[in-house]
Amino acid sequence: MRVFVTGASGFIGSAVVEELLGAGHEVIGLARSDAAPASLPAIGAEVHHGDLGDPESLRSGAAGADAVIHTAFNHDFSRFAENCELDRRAIETLGAALAGTDRLLVVTSAIGLLAGRDRVVSEDDLPPAETPNPRVATERTAAAVAARGGKVAVVRLPPSVHGDGDHGFVPILIRIARETGLSAYPSDRENRWPAVHRLDAARAFRLALEKGASGVRYHAVAESGVPFRRIAEVVARRLNVPLVALAPNEAKAHFGWFAHFAMLDCQASGERTEGALGWQPTRSGLLADIDREVYFRS
């Protein structure tokens, strides 16, 4: 297939591009930076210039493809609501471009939207109807596109997608520990993060494209719930700083804007995804992966 990939030069999107190329697909990668156009042809992908804020570039990229994988998302949390709205509009645009065809749109969502439930969440679970989290717009927009007859599948990613080049939650924790001189975890709960290696996640996207069904949600989950304390332990040992349990108010002050994510508790299953797609994660687990020098280079 000829696949249009948004976020093609990003941490997850670049892994998806290489996975698709390795399986014999052609890739058109949406690129806006100066570096991305050089990196994509180097691995055999075609460059399509544009960005999420340019609807015409999304429409024309989708028009020339047999399917679309949408991995792009701006993770600047100081503009989170604005970025969620940008994502909503991008999904609307891509869905409209594929309307009336049998071409599949694969959308990226977040398992963290299902946090706070006292059980293991599955692919069948939906984000709460009433939530202040603007990220729910992703799945709601995908569902609206499907309701209009579009072919849409959703791949949910865990809070930690790890591997070389990670600039997500664990690097943020490492930076906070460096700045404060301690590695902390909330003392009032045994909160857990699901996790997956970026290369395993990339394979889940490819299989969702090749074998997936419209209207289905998939979980790229390799580990259902890694205790946050265990992550903090690795950070403390690697940085040689104290490991400290903090009461809720102390934890909120310590983590600042990141407190919501640091205190997030979610256990998730990818069992149905494994069965439906024949997907089996094979890469390193989160704790082993982050316990490497690459994560702690200044």
CB-side neighbour CA atoms (13 Å) of 171: 13
Q: Determine the pLDDT at residue 103.
A: 97
161: amino acid identity, one letter = V
Which two three-digit tokens encode residue 253? 């002050």
| Cα–Cα dist 147/59, whole Å | 20
Cα 144 to its chain centre, rounded Å, is 21
2-162+194-222+270-278: CATH superfamily: NAD(P)-binding Rossmann-like Domain (3.40.50.720)
pLDDT given for residue 32 in this prediction: 79
Report domain extents, the chain: 2-162+194-222+270-278
Residues 6+ apart with CB under 8 A from 298: none
pLDDT (tens digit, 9 = 90+) per residue, 221-256?
Answer: 999 999 999 999 999 999 999 999 999 999 999 999
The pLDDT of residue 33 is 66
In angstroms, the first-to-last Cα distance of the chain is 41
- Give me the residues of the chain with pLDDT under 70, please: 33-37, 298
Per-residue pLDDT at 157: 98
What pLDDT sits at residue 129?
85
State which amino acid sits at residue 173.
L
Tell me the whole-structure pTM to 2 decimals. Answer: 0.96
